[in-house]
């Protein structure tokens, strides 16, 4: 997992601790919103990814998440709360999807991206 966090921190310019939180939030969101079979492939291919997603699954409906109504906008609100701007969000998303393609394949990532409106801009 540390290699993944380092890779994303380097790609996005984020501090590793912030990158780890952002990755956890994105994975938790995808685990909730994307097709389970495809996300299972992604999570199985990245050591400790399921644990990181579970640790951030409580993003819940309060605060910014509730204000934006959940979905991709809710995730953006959570990431914004970590101090990420849109460019950093896109860098994190693109790198997560690059890694997902490596471990789960292009088809699985296509299914994930296609299942959530607006997500393709991050793939």
What is this structure's pTM? Answer: 0.89
- For residue 83, give Cα distances in angstroms to 6, 15, 55, 80: 18, 11, 19, 5
Percent of the chain whose pLDDT exceeds 90: 77
pLDDT tens digit string along 51-72? 999 999 875 444 444 444 568 8
Listed in sequence order, the residues at least 6 apart from 3 whose beta carbon sits closer than 8 Å to its beta carbon are none
Structure tokens at 32: 């909730």
- Residue 83's H or E segment, with its range, is none
**In terms of residue numbers, what domain contains 64?**
2-117
Q: Is 56 among the domain residues? A: yes
> How many folded domains does the chain comprise?
1
Q: Is 123 among the domain residues? A: no
In this structure, what DSSP letter does residue 62 have? Answer: S
56-92 burial string, b = 16+ CB within 10 Å, else e?
Answer: beebeeeebbeebebebebbbbbbeebebeeebbebb
Q: Is 122 among the domain residues? A: no
Query: CB–CB of 99/91 below 8 Å?
Result: no
Question: In 1-123, where do the E strands start and end?
Answer: none
Instruction: Read off the CATH number of the domain in which 38 is found.
Output: 1.10.490
pLDDT string in tens for the chain (123-residue length): 888 999 999 999 999 999 999 999 999 999 999 999 999 999 999 999 999 999 998 754 444 444 445 688 889 999 999 999 999 999 999 999 999 999 999 999 999 999 998 887 777
């Amino acid at each position: 997992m540390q290699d993944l966090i380092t890779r994303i921190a380097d790609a996005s310019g984020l501090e590793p601790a912030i990158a780890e939180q952002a990755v956890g939030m994105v994975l938790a969101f995808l685990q909730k919103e994307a097709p389970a079979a495809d996300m299972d492939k992604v999570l199985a291919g990245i050591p400790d990814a399921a644990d990181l997603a579970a640790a951030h699954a409580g993003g819940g409906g309060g605060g910014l998440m509730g204000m934006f109504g959940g979905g991709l906008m809710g995730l953006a609100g959570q990431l914004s709360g970590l101090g990420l701007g849109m460019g950093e969000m896109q860098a994190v998303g693109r790198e997560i999807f690059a890694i997902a393609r490596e471990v789960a394949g292009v088809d699985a990532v296509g299914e994930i991206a296609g299942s959530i409106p607006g997500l393709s801009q991050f793939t």
